Amino acid sequence: MAPIPTYDDSVNNNNECETKVFPYKIINVREDINKELLEVFTGEKSGFLQVGPKKWFFPSGYKREAEHLYNFVARPTDVFIVTFPRSGTTWTQELVWLLANDLDYETANKVLLAQRFPFLEFSCFVHKEVKANLLKVNQFDPPSCKLIETLDYPSWKYLDTIKENRFIKTHLPFSLLPSNLLNAGSKVIYVARHPKDVAVSYYHLNRTYVTQGYVGDFKNFWKYFQSGLVAWGPYWEHLKEGWSRRHEKNVLFYFYEDMKKNPIATFRKLATFLGKNYSDEELSILENHLRIDNFKNNKSVNNDEHRNIGLIANGEESFIRKGVIGGWTTYFDENLSQEADRWIEDNLRSSNIVLPY
């Protein structure tokens, strides 16, 4: 989740393609469910939406951006990272940016990852009341207020002004991504992760960021996760869309677990996909750069600037957590784990997805 730099209002490359009507119906979540969700996801103030037949779940801000995001003009030189939240996104962003940019650690350390790799739809999640409160809290700190003012600035506008190669982070499923994405020749990297670990990490993120402001416990969060009532859900529909694209020419699909178990092999696969080649020694240095202890202390990726302005709640976990495989075991009791396993098995039975264990 990232602030977006200022931009030149006069530039808008969306004129390069014919604007298409957004193809999906957007409806309000059922009133009783919406009321319950607003009580536990306190960062949203107006209400929640569901989009299309798969019922993609979003806060109210998505409605104003949906058509713009769908009509965002992808370019052949773009690199997109597409994930369901907390599937190794930030780790992959830093990895991909370095591989694509000749292992330029100097720039990577100086320039925030949020600026090198803008988050396409983040503005949808910054409610005007949350922004107003952040501005009030930071009213005597002009640099912080300047940063806060950028939070709800649409990344699709900013990205239109970039002339050089663009690196774009998104959690949108393929069906809501720019309509010309794969036809344009953009490179798309889809990273998936086991749903139990995703749910635990996502639970902490929803507690950590005031834009989500989750105040419930994990057991209830799992209920919402399983029901597709968390942002960018449903999980399985998202994963199925990514999995179905895995053989397309400009798409690279892999699991976070595979990257963690055999990082060098994954680095090589990614480098080849990006048209790069590196020595064993160079990849070993890169692996060390990405080790979780180093990553958590890397000021360009760990979003400390968000904690400083109050976007990250005090007393909650850091943005970069543990990055481990199997961390879910301390959150699921036996009954909840069995329930989750049945849910997973039911969804795997209706697809040919092979999850890592």
Residue tagged active-site, from 127, 171, 194, 306: 171
Cis ω before 356 (30° cut-off from 0): no
DSSP string covering 261-302, please? Answer: HSHHHHHHHHHHHTT----HHHHHHHHHHTSHHHHHT-TTTS
Q: Mark whether 171 is an active-site residue.
A: yes
Instruction: Please give the Cα distance from 192 to 86 (Å, whole number).
Output: 9
Angle at 215 between CA 210 and CA 218, to 5 degrees: 120
Instruction: Please give the Cα distance from 273 to 68 (Å, whole number).
Output: 29
Longest dimension (CA), the chain: 57
Instruction: Please give the Cα distance from 111 to 78 (Å, whole number).
Output: 19
CB of 43 closer than 8 Å to CB of 160: no
Which burial class, exposed, middle or buried, applies to 106 when counting CB atoms under 10 A from its CB (0-12, 13-18, 19+)?
A: exposed
Residue 50 has what DSSP assignment? E
What are the DSSP E strand ranges found in 126-213? Answer: 167-170, 187-192
CB of 62 closer than 8 Å to CB of 177: no
Residue 75: CB partners within 8 Å, gap ≥ 6?
Answer: 166, 184, 186
Q: Where in the sequence numbering do the catalytic residues fall?
A: 171
